[in-house]
Structure 1
Amino acid sequence: MRALRNPKRGRAAAAAVLIVCGLGLTAQGAWIPAKAAFAQVLLERAFARTLASGHPEKPWPWADTVPEARLSLGGESYIALAGSSGQALAFGPGHVEGTPEAGEPGTAVYAAHRDTQFAVLGRLRPGDPIAVTRSDGTMATFRVTGSRVARWDESGIDPRAPGRHLALSTCWPLDAVTHGPLRLIVEAESDGQGDARSD
């Protein structure tokens, strides 16, 4: 009888371990989107304070970045942070360093994770509107001109290109579960209609 009980106990223990591991992986998978969604609430409040005061306001005391713009695209609205470090992108889109502010001459570039805010990039089509409200209250409006896939180190984006452009970038393919070198880049041009303060 003992010999029969041990295999049952072993299978039960193995099943329990697998269940615990599965729950752990599920919780880990839900953590990033949940953190990004909750952070957007705090970022929205900090952005409202920034617009009201005219000074950058941190979303939480230990934050190493500040809200820089509100991106409105595909029926969604997200607060973008200054910088595109991994720490910033964990909470929302980031304005890529060395690129102009939206609405200024050149190409403003924003990046975000494909499984949080920039999952919406897959739904954008040529002609779709994008609005960017900067922290100084200026709103710049754009129209999507197209999208393409490129290696992260061969994006072809020129921050000093003539005109006023916008590029939104996220990892590709959108449904992948591992990191890779490809990026989906959605490109847009200023439509010149919303380049004014939105006080």
Structure 2
Amino acid sequence: MVKRVLFCFSIVVMLALAAWQLGQAGLLAAKAWAAPILIEQAWTQGQLSGQAVKPWRWGDSAPIARLEEPGQGVTRFVMDGGNMRNLAFGPVLSEDKGRTILYGHRDTHFRFLKSVEAGDVFSFQKLGEEAESWTVSKRFIADADNLYLPVGQTDGSLFLITCYPFDSLDPDTDQRLVVELVREGPAPASLSLADL
């Protein structure tokens, strides 16, 4: 009798643990699905108010810029605060000596950089500002421990940085892909279907 009770208890405990694990996986999947929608809504609200809006009440980050690469149909919302937690939701922004630097993960938000070439045109817009057109001037691979950004032109430079190589199984590679863009001016206005 005692063995049967222990067996039943063990089964109940295992089922409870399995349900808890499935619940955690479901919660993670729900967050992954909802986060981009909430971040885009926060960006839209921030554009209307002129101030950064958190996508969820308990968040410690907000979208503060939008990066678009029309050739690949890519839109990324750039988050403030450069910690690993914020990188999970999008690229993060850093500014240094007049240069704007965006960091993103190679296997999610910046995976599209694998196909970017010199001459490709991007649109970049900071919160409360007009969108500007940027052109890829060059891309290069740098050692992570000796990462450098070209000196000279400090104003009007935009750098996109991600781990490299893209298809490495090593989560902590020692190289970085650096894509340098130069400002071209105001971005052309987007057309909606209503304008056609």
TM-score tier by shorter-chain length is: 0.7 to 0.9
Query: Does residue 56 of structure 2 align to residue 60 of structure 1?
Result: yes
Please state how far the C-alpha of 1:162 moved relative to its aligned partner.
3.2
Alpha carbons 1:107, 1:159 under 8 Å: kept: no
Matches within 5 A, 1:1-199: 38-73=34-69, 74-96=72-94, 98-99=95-96, 106-157=98-149, 161-178=153-170, 179-194=172-187
Kept after mapping to 2: 8 A contact 1:36/1:90: no
* Deviations, residues 109-168 of structure 1 (Å, cap 9, x unaligned): 001111111000011111100111111132121100111111223222268843311100
**Helix, strand or coil for the counterpart of 1:43?**
helix
> Take 1:99 and 1:165, find their aligned partners in 2: how far apart are those partners?
10
Q: Is the 8 A contact 2:82 2:92 kept in 1?
A: yes
**Where do 5+ consecutive residues of structure 2 fail to align?**
1-21, 190-196
> TM-score, normalising length from structure 1?
0.72
Work out the CA distance in 2 between the residues paired with 1:36 and 1:112: 16
8 A contact 2:131–2:186 mirrored in 1: no
Task: Tell me if the contact between 1:114 and 1:170 (Cα under 8 Å) persists in the aligned partners.
Answer: yes
* Higher RCO structure (Cα 8 Å, ≥6 apart): 1
Distance (whole Å) between structure 2 residues aligned to residue 158 and residue 62 of structure 1:
38
Deviations 1:8-63 (A, max 9, x none): xxxxxxxxxxxxxxxx9xx8xxx79x855642221100000000111210011111
> Partners in 1 of 2:142 and 2:51 — Cα distance?
36
RMSD: 2.6
Contact conserved, 1:107 with 1:157, CA < 8 A, in 2? no
Aligned pairs, number? 162
Gap runs ≥5 in structure 1: 1-23, 101-105
**TM superposition outliers: structure 1 runs of 4+ over 6 Å:** none
Shift in alpha-carbon separation, 1:35–1:184, aligned structure 2, 3 A: farther
Partners of 2:91 and 2:33 in 1: CA distance:
12
